[in-house]
Amino acid sequence: MTELRTLKVALLGCGNVGAQVARILIDDAGTLAPRTGARLELVGIAVRNLDAEREVDLPRDLFTTDAETLVKDADLVIELMGGIEPARSLILSAIQNGASVVTGNKALLAADGPALYEEADKAGVELSYEAAVAGAIPILRPIRDSLSGDRITRVLGIVNGTTNFILDQMDSTGAQFADALAEAQRLGYAEADPTADVEGHDAAAKAAILASLSFHTRFDLEHVYCEGITRVSAADMAAAKEAGFVIKLLAIAEKIGNGDGSEGVSVRVHPTLLPREHPLAAVRGAFNAVFVEAENAGELMFYGQGAGGTPTASAVLGDLVSAARRIVLGGPGRIESTTGHVPALPIDAATTSYYIGLDVADQPGVLAKIAQLFAEHGVSIEIMRQTIHRDADSNVESAELRIVTHRASEAALAATVEAVKGLDVINSVTSVLRVEGA
Ligand code: NAP
């Protein structure tokens, strides 16, 4: 039997994910070797603090604070430090030294991915990042490889577990956003500073990656329209529920015709009403799922754990074995297809249905006035429901109007809402939410 060669693996970071990757590399070395065609030897782990307690018991002599030296003598580098620097410089240094790199760093890829992919292409090495989107769920490889003979038309993803947990709490218990967030923080699903999650920034970074692979064009954060969930109220949730919808924070990448034969891609993140029977509506708690529509394959759904040290380590190991196998077999690095050249479209070009909540005066003729105004702006109404409220103290009646439109452009909807605000019978516009999958 021929002796398997040994490939040196350097690990940068030993936190939630890195510690589990180190554990699997050491404990499962015997099963990984025949699958890879090489022994994967963990030669060092770079951290900030050599004395920190680790979740996993690992040989102390593997640890170093000298990440720069570590990456220079490795065949494969796994970056699980997070943040922009020094992760970016270390990845570049590894690539320039001929190492293939595996990372889970969506923030870095969204900020500077194109430059890193280009360097990897030039050096003929692989830069893989399955763990950067939806944790354990194999979604990037299916989009890039399995669907490479098809044409993807639309991707809808629940790619942030924290916001899905919060919205699910609000939906199932009637809680307000602030209370659901506090519960998520208590249970460890949300960080003390939840901004990146609740403002949609984390989902936007993942949307840019999903859009880039789906449409063979490099998109980055500046192409992504982003709206978080902080303004979703318990009243919105209740109204959505009553109308047969659930509210989810979706990352959406879809191809849109411009009406003149040309096409563009709309990449956006926003709270979205989904019919309760849509497969994504069944994604509860902190789970993630990505729903892909392709011309030939039709509808596909990928579901699983979007975070957590061990689940995410699974995605990292998959990339590592695949990159190592390529080193063993030889041949050029995998080149990311960027031949799509589709422009990113501004949010105004997106078309969806809308849910609009209005607080209106309870007077005759109000409904007709509103319906006429929508028609004048070319936005057609699918459902209009009115509920009358009487204030117990003042005995004044007001009406709540809930409207679901047919598909309309953002621009037409925005103009309609502005015009509605100017009507004397409108007390306030209580919510404007986009609807998908209806
Ligand atoms: P983490 O728990 O914060 O761990 C970060 C590790 O990197 C720590 O071991 C830290 O060292 C080390 N580190 C940070 N800066 C360093 C520096 N300048 N020099 C040397 N070492 C440094 O992070 P994580 O949750 O494992 O996440 C790692 C990456 O995976 C991030 O990019 C994250 O976005 C991505 N990701 C995470 C998850 C998840 O569920 N956690 C899911 C998908 C993707 P010390 O321990 O000494 O401080």
The CB of 11 under 6 Å from ligand 1? The reply is no
How many Cα atoms occupy the beta-carbon half-sphere of 48 within 13 Å? 6
The residues annotated with a catalytic role in the active site are 206
Check residue 200 and give left, alpha or beta (phi > 0: left; psi -120 to 50: alpha).
left
The Cα–Cα gap between 200 and 1 comes to: 53
| Cα–ligand 1 centroid distance for 197 (angstroms) | 17
Which pLDDT band holds residue 339 (cuts at 50, 70, 90)?
Answer: confident
Cβ-contact 314, 137 below 8 angstroms: no
Which pLDDT band holds residue 261 (cuts at 50, 70, 90)?
Answer: confident
| Peptide bond before residue 86 is cis, with ω within 30 degrees of 0 | yes
The residue length of the chain stands at: 438
The Cα–Cα gap between 418 and 147 comes to: 42
Per-residue pLDDT at 1: 58
* pLDDT tens figures, 47-83: 999 999 999 999 999 999 999 999 999 999 999 999 9
DSSP state of 339: -
Which pLDDT band holds residue 335 (cuts at 50, 70, 90)?
Answer: low
Strands (E), 75-227: 76-79, 100-103, 127-128, 152-158, 224-226
| Cα–ligand 1 centroid distance for 96 (angstroms) | 23
Cβ-contact 270, 250 below 8 angstroms: yes
- For the CA of 86, the nearest atom of ligand 1: 18
* pLDDT tens figures, 171-194: 999 999 999 999 999 999 999 999
pLDDT higher at 418 or 393: 418
Which pLDDT band holds residue 149 (cuts at 50, 70, 90)?
Answer: very high
Averaged pLDDT, 92-119: 94
The CB of 17 under 6 Å from ligand 1? The reply is yes
Cβ-contact 46, 10 below 8 angstroms: yes
Which pLDDT band holds residue 433 (cuts at 50, 70, 90)?
Answer: very high
Most confident of 218-222, 322-326, 428-432: 322-326
- Poorest-pLDDT segment among 6-15, 158-167, 282-291, 360-369: 360-369
Contacts 24+ apart (CB under 8 A), 279-287: 280/156, 280/158, 280/248, 280/250, 280/437, 281/246, 281/248, 283/158, 283/164, 283/248, 284/164, 284/168, 285/161, 285/164, 285/165, 285/168, 286/161, 286/162, 286/164, 286/165, 286/189, 287/158, 287/161, 287/164
DSSP 158-194: E--HHHHHHHHHHHHH---HHHHHHHHHHTTSS-SS-
Averaged pLDDT, 367-388: 93
Per-residue pLDDT at 393: 83
Per-residue pLDDT at 63: 98
Mean pLDDT, the chain, rounded, equals 94
Taken in order of first residue, the domains within the chain and their CATH numbers are 5-133+310-329 (3.40.50.720), 140-306 (3.30.360.10), 350-435 (3.30.70.260)
List the residue whose alpha carbon is closest to atom 4 of ligand 1: 15
175, with CB counted inside 10 A (0-12, 13-18, 19+), is middle
412, 428, 406, 297: which is closest to 354 by C-alpha? 406
The Cα–Cα gap between 92 and 299 comes to: 37
The CB of 64 under 6 Å from ligand 1? The reply is no
* pLDDT tens figures, 204-225: 999 999 999 999 999 989 999 9
Assigned token pair, 23? 């554990």
In degrees, rounded to 5, the angle at the alpha carbon of residue 203 between the alpha carbons of residues 214 and 83 is 105
Mutate to test the pocket of ligand 1, among 312, 314, 317 (most ligand atoms within 8 A of CB): 312
The CB of 131 under 6 Å from ligand 1? The reply is yes
* pLDDT of 259 over the 80 cut: no
Per-residue pLDDT at 394: 81
* pLDDT tens figures, 386-414: 888 787 888 877 788 999 999 999 999 99
Per-residue pLDDT at 131: 97
Q: Calculate what percentage of the chain has a pLDDT beyond 90.
A: 84
| Cα–ligand 1 centroid distance for 13 (angstroms) | 5
195, 183, 207, 192: which is closest to 286 by C-alpha? 183
* pLDDT tens figures, 19-42: 999 999 999 999 999 999 999 999
- How far are the Cα atoms of 81, 110, 202, 219, 241 from residue 84, in angstroms, in the given order? 9, 10, 14, 18, 40
| Cα–ligand 1 centroid distance for 104 (angstroms) | 9
